[in-house]
């Protein structure tokens, strides 16, 4: 029994060593928290993927949802559910068209992409 446990432990350790450290994604931004979410200025949906949020201080953030959120459209009615303490972060959720979508990450952003004249 002890021998089997020891072998299993060694195999798990060898697998972890082979995998190495996780690769850093180039250009990745650190996690952020939006304070005073009740006073946000603007929200622009990124359909099915996330939301650009302009906070009360003018700073833009991007909140990415955990899974595809089919009701998250450009015209969806949005309601934000901050985490305990009133912060909007990776422990928060948003409601789009009545559906609850969990947040995977919140990062600083340059804002939503500009739309060209005549595009939908």
Q: What is the mean pLDDT of each run of 10 residues along the chain (120 residues)?
A: 46 38 51 88 94 94 94 94 91 94 96 70
Question: For 18, what's the count of Cα atoms within 13 Å in the CB-facing half-sphere?
Answer: 6
Closest CA to 82 of 38, 47, 44, 42: 38
Domain for residue 9, yes or no? no
pLDDT at 82: 92
pLDDT at 2: 56
How many domains, in total, are found in the chain? 1
CA 38 and chain centroid, separation = 18
How many other CB atoms are there within 10 angstroms of residue 90's CB atom? 18
Indicate the pTM of the whole model.
0.71
The angle formed by the CA atoms of residues 22, 25 and 26, to the nearest 5 degrees, is 140
Q: In whole angstroms, how far apart are CA 48 and each of 6, 27, 45, 108? A: 46, 22, 8, 19
Domain for residue 77, yes or no? yes
Domain for residue 25, yes or no? no
Domain for residue 52, yes or no? yes
Instruction: Look up the domain containing 74 and give its range.
Output: 37-109
């Amino acid at each position: 029994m002890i021998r089997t446990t020891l072998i299993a432990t060694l195999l798990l350790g060898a697998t972890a060593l082979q995998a190495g450290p996780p690769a850093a994604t180039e250009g990745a931004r650190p996690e952020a928290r939006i304070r005073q979410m009740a006073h946000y200025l603007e929200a622009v949906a990124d359909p099915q993927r996330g939301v650009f949020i302009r906070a009360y201080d003018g700073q833009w953030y991007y909140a990415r949802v955990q899974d595809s959120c089919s009701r998250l459209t450009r015209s969806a009615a949005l309601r934000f559910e901050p985490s305990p303490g009133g912060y909007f972060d990776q422990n928060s959720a948003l409601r789009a068209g009545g559906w609850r979508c969990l947040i995977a990450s919140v990062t600083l952003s340059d804002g939503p992409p500009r739309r060209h004249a005549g595009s939908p």
